[in-house]
Structure 1
Amino acid sequence: MTPPAERRPPRSLRALLLWILVPAQIAVLSVALWLSSSQLHQQVDLAYDRSLAGALRAIDHNISTQSGGLAIELPYLLLEFFELTANNAVYYRILTEDGLADIGNQNLPLPAARLRSDIPVFYDSEYLGASLRIAALARPMSPPLYGQKDGRLIVMVGEDRSGRDQVIRDLMLRNIERDLFEVLASTGLIVVGVLIGLRPLTRLYRKLKRRAPDDLSPISAPELPREIQPLVNAVNQHVARHARQAHRQRQFLDDASHQLRTPLAVLHAQLDYALRESVSDEARAALLAMRGGLDQAQRTASQLLALARAREADVRSDPPRPVALTELAQDVIRQLYGLARQKRQRIGMDGGELGATVLGIEWLLREALVNLMDNAIKYTPEGGVITLRIARTDEGVSLSVHDTGPGMTETDSRKAGRRFRRGKAGKRGHGAGLGLAIVHTIMHRHGGALRIEPSAPGARVSLIFPADQGFPGKSSF
Structure 2
Amino acid sequence: MTRPAERRPGSLRSLLLWILVPAQITVLSLALWFSSSQLHQQVDLAYDRSLAGALRAIDHNISTASGGLAVELPYLMLEFFELTANDSVYYRILTEDGLADIGNQDLPLPDARLPSNSPVFYDRDYLGASIRIAALARPMAPPLYGQKTGRVIVMVGEDRSGRDQVIRDLMIRNIVRDLIEVLASTGLIVVGVLIGLRPLTRLYRKLKGRAHDDLSPISAPELPREVRPLVDAVNQHVARHARQARRQRQFLDDASHQLRTPLAVLHTQLDYALRESDPAEARAALLAMRGGLDQAQRTAAQMLALARARDTDARDGPPQTVALTALAQDVIRQLYSLARQKRQTLALEGGELGITVTGIEWLLREALVNLLDNAIKYTPEGGAVTLRIERTPDGAILSVRDTGPGMTETDIRKAGRRFRRGQAGKRSHGAGLGLAIVHTIMQRHGGVLRIEPADPGVQVSLVFPVDEGFPAKSSF
TM-score by length of structure 2 reads: 0.56
Structure 1 residue 272, shift from structure 2 partner = 9.2
Structure 1 residue 55, shift from structure 2 partner = 0.8
Equivalent-residue separation in structure 1 for 2:178 and 2:135 (angstroms): 37
**Which residue pairs with 1:206 in the alignment?**
205
Equivalent-residue separation in structure 2 for 1:113 and 1:25 (angstroms): 45
SS at match of 1:4: coil
Equivalent-residue separation in structure 1 for 2:154 and 2:236 (angstroms): 87
Structure 1 residue 58, shift from structure 2 partner = 1.1
**Which residue pairs with 1:144 in the alignment?**
143
**Which residue pairs with 1:107 in the alignment?**
106
**Which residue pairs with 1:25 in the alignment?**
24
TM alignment of 1:152-167, pairs within 5 A: 152-167=151-166
Structure 1 residue 10, shift from structure 2 partner = 2.1
Equivalent-residue separation in structure 1 for 2:49 and 2:223 (angstroms): 59
SS at match of 1:139: strand
**Which residue pairs with 2:397 in the alignment?**
none
| Counterpart check, 1:120 vs 2:137 | no
Structure 1 residue 164, shift from structure 2 partner = 0.3
Structure 1 residue 230, shift from structure 2 partner = 2.1
The one-character-per-residue Cα deviations of 1:49-106 (angstroms, maximum 9, x if unpaired) are 1111111111111111111001111111111111111111000000001111011111
SS at match of 2:197: helix
**Which residue pairs with 2:395 in the alignment?**
none
**Which residue pairs with 2:57 in the alignment?**
58
**Which residue pairs with 1:81 in the alignment?**
80
SS at match of 2:81: helix
Which sections of structure 2, spanning at least 5 residues, go unmatched? 279-476
| Counterpart check, 1:258 vs 2:273 | no
Structure 1 residue 274, shift from structure 2 partner = 9.6
Structure 1 residue 266, shift from structure 2 partner = 4.8
The one-character-per-residue Cα deviations of 1:416-473 (angstroms, maximum 9, x if unpaired) are xxxxxxxxxxxxxxxxxxxxxxxxxxxxxxxxxxxxxxxxxxxxxxxxxxxxxxxxxx
**Which residue pairs with 1:45 in the alignment?**
44
Structure 1 residue 278, shift from structure 2 partner = 11
| Counterpart check, 1:184 vs 2:183 | yes
Structure 1 residue 262, shift from structure 2 partner = 2.9
SS at match of 2:106: coil
**Which residue pairs with 2:66 in the alignment?**
67
SS at match of 1:116: coil
Structure 1 residue 237, shift from structure 2 partner = 1.9
The amino acid across from 2:16 in the alignment is L
**Which residue pairs with 1:98 in the alignment?**
97
The amino acid across from 2:125 in the alignment is E
**Which residue pairs with 1:133 in the alignment?**
132
Q: Whose radius of gyration is greater, 1 or 2?
A: 2
The amino acid across from 1:232 in the alignment is V
The one-character-per-residue Cα deviations of 1:335-354 (angstroms, maximum 9, x if unpaired) are xxxxxxxxxxxxxxxxxxxx
| Identity across matched positions, percent | 86
The amino acid across from 1:175 in the alignment is N
TM alignment of 1:224-243, pairs within 5 A: 224-243=223-242
**Which residue pairs with 2:353 in the alignment?**
none
TM alignment of 1:259-408, pairs within 5 A: 259-264=258-263, 266=265
User: Which shifted more, 95-104 or 258-267?
Assistant: 258-267
| Counterpart check, 1:217 vs 2:211 | no
Equivalent-residue separation in structure 2 for 1:72 and 1:189 (angstroms): 64
Equivalent-residue separation in structure 1 for 2:91 and 2:117 (angstroms): 17
TM alignment of 1:421-432, pairs within 5 A: none
Equivalent-residue separation in structure 2 for 1:253 and 1:87 (angstroms): 99
SS at match of 1:53: helix
SS at match of 2:7: coil
Structure 1 residue 252, shift from structure 2 partner = 1.0
Structure 1 residue 152, shift from structure 2 partner = 0.6
TM alignment of 1:445-456, pairs within 5 A: none
The amino acid across from 2:206 in the alignment is K
Structure 1 residue 265, shift from structure 2 partner = 5.0
Equivalent-residue separation in structure 1 for 2:146 and 2:7 (angstroms): 92
**Which residue pairs with 1:389 in the alignment?**
none
**Which residue pairs with 1:5 in the alignment?**
4
User: Which shifted more, 218-227 or 76-85?
Assistant: 218-227
Equivalent-residue separation in structure 1 for 2:182 and 2:210 (angstroms): 42
Equivalent-residue separation in structure 1 for 2:137 and 2:251 (angstroms): 107
Structure 1 residue 245, shift from structure 2 partner = 1.4
SS at match of 1:137: strand
Structure 1 residue 223, shift from structure 2 partner = 2.3
**Which residue pairs with 2:400 in the alignment?**
none
Equivalent-residue separation in structure 1 for 2:215 and 2:256 (angstroms): 25
The amino acid across from 2:203 in the alignment is L
Equivalent-residue separation in structure 2 for 1:111 and 1:260 (angstroms): 113
Which sections of structure 1, spanning at least 5 residues, go unmatched? 280-477
Equivalent-residue separation in structure 2 for 1:47 and 1:10 (angstroms): 55
Structure 1 residue 261, shift from structure 2 partner = 3.2
The amino acid across from 1:165 in the alignment is D
